[in-house]
Structure 1
Amino acid sequence: MTKRLSRSNQPGLPVYPERMIQFGEGNFMRAFVDWQLQQMNNQGLFNGSAVLVQPIGQGLGALMAEQDNLYTVLLNGIMQEQTVNSREIIGSVSRVISPYEDYAAYLALAEDDGLEFITSNTTEAGIAYHAGDALNDAPPKSFPAKLTALLHRRFELGKKGFVIIPCELIDRNGEKLREIVQQYAAEWQLGDAFAKWLEEENTFCCSLVDRIVPGYPRDKAAQLEAELGYLDNLMVTAEPFLFWVIEGPSWLAEKLPLTEAGLNVVITDDMTPYRERKVHLLNGPHTAMVPLGMMAGLETVEDVMNDETFLRFVKELMNDELIPMLDLPADELTSYSAAVLERFKNPFVRHELASISLNSISKFKSRLLPVLLRYQQERGKLPELMTLAFAALLLSYRGDRVARQDGAEVLAVFDQAWSSPGSFVQTILKNDSLWGQDLTLVPGLSDAISANLQKLESTDSRAALTQVVS
Structure 2
Amino acid sequence: MPTPIVQFGTSRFLQAHADLFISEALKKGEAPGPITIVQTTGSSERSGRLAALARPEGFPVIIRGIQEGETIDATQRVTSVARALSTAQNWSEIRAIIAEEAEILISNTGDTGYQVGDNDLITDIPLSFPGKLLLLLKARFDAARRPLTILPCELVSRNGDVLKALMLRLAAERMGNIAFIDWLDKDVVWANTLVDRIVSEPLEPAGAIAEPYALWAIENQSGLRLPCIHPCVKLVDDLTPYEKLKLHILNLGHTVLAELWLRQGRDQNGTVRKILADPGIAAHLDKIYQSEVIPAFAAKGLESEAADYVTATLERFRNPFLNHRLGDIANHHREKIERRIVDLLRWSPGVVMPELQAICDQ
Q: Fold-level match, TM-score > 0.5?
A: yes
Q: Which amino acid aligns with 1:239?
A: E
Structure with greater Cα Rg: 1
8 Å CA contact retained: 2:99, 2:137: no
User: For residues 373-396 of structure 1, what are the alpha-carbon distances to aligned partners after superposition, in whole Å with 9 as ceiling and x for unaligned?
Assistant: 455x415x5x232133335xxxxx
**1:348 is the counterpart of 2:321:** yes
Q: Which amino acid aligns with 1:122?
A: T
SS in structure 2 of the partner of residue 215 of structure 1: strand
SS in structure 2 of the partner of residue 209 of structure 1: strand
**Alignment match, 2:341:** 368
**1:103 is the counterpart of 2:91:** yes
Instruction: Pick from 45, 48, 73 the counterpart of residue 61 of structure 2.
Output: 73
Q: How does 1:53-452 map to 2 (within 5 A)?
A: 53-58=38-43, 60-66=46-52, 68-69=54-55, 70-112=58-100, 114-134=101-121, 137-216=123-202, 233-249=205-221, 252=224, 255-256=225-226, 258=228, 260-261=229-230, 263-294=231-262, 295-298=264-267, 299-326=270-297, 327-374=300-347, 377-379=349-351, 383-391=353-361, 449=362
How far did residue 161 of structure 1 move?
2.7
Q: Which amino acid aligns with 1:104?
A: S
How many angstroms apart in 2 are the aligned matches of 1:374 and 1:204? 27
Q: Give the direction of change, closer, same or farther, for the CA distance of 1:67–1:97 in structure 2 (3 Å limit).
A: closer
**Alignment match, 2:26:** 41
Q: Which amino acid aligns with 1:286?
A: H
**Alignment match, 2:7:** 22
8 Å CA contact retained: 1:28, 1:215: no
Q: Give the direction of change, closer, same or farther, for the CA distance of 1:28–1:256 in structure 2 (3 Å limit).
A: same
Kindly indicate which of the two structures has a greater share of residues assigned to strand: 2
SS in structure 2 of the partner of residue 233 of structure 1: coil
How far did residue 77 of structure 1 move?
0.4
RMSD: 2.0
How many angstroms apart in 1 are the aligned matches of 2:42 and 2:227? 33
SS in structure 1 of the partner of residue 175 of structure 2: coil
SS in structure 2 of the partner of residue 214 of structure 1: strand
8 Å CA contact retained: 1:73, 1:89: yes
How many angstroms apart in 1 are the aligned matches of 2:346 and 2:98? 49
Unaligned runs of 5+ in 2: none
> Which structure would you say has the larger RCO, counting Cα contacts within 8 Å and 6 or more residues apart?
2
User: For residues 293-330 of structure 1, what are the alpha-carbon distances to aligned partners after superposition, in whole Å with 9 as ceiling and x for unaligned?
Assistant: 24341510001221101101111111111121122431
8 Å CA contact retained: 1:128, 1:180: no
How far did residue 235 of structure 1 move?
2.8
* TM-score (norm: length of structure 1): 0.71
SS in structure 2 of the partner of residue 21 of structure 1: strand
| Stretch deviating more after TM superposition (61-70 or 88-97) | 61-70
How far did residue 68 of structure 1 move?
4.1
How many angstroms apart in 1 are the aligned matches of 2:78 and 2:310? 30
8 Å CA contact retained: 1:211, 1:239: yes
How many angstroms apart in 1 are the aligned matches of 2:170 and 2:222? 29
Q: Which amino acid aligns with 2:350?
A: E
How far did residue 216 of structure 1 move?
2.3
Q: Which amino acid aligns with 1:357?
A: A
How many angstroms apart in 2 are the aligned matches of 1:343 and 1:98? 35
How many angstroms apart in 2 are the aligned matches of 1:305 and 1:341? 9
How far did residue 88 of structure 1 move?
1.2
SS in structure 2 of the partner of residue 378 of structure 1: coil
**Alignment match, 1:225:** none
How far did residue 72 of structure 1 move?
0.3
How many aligned positions are there? 354
How far did residue 48 of structure 1 move?
1.4
Percent identical across equivalent pairs?
30
How many angstroms apart in 1 are the aligned matches of 2:2 and 2:142? 24
8 Å CA contact retained: 2:13, 2:199: yes
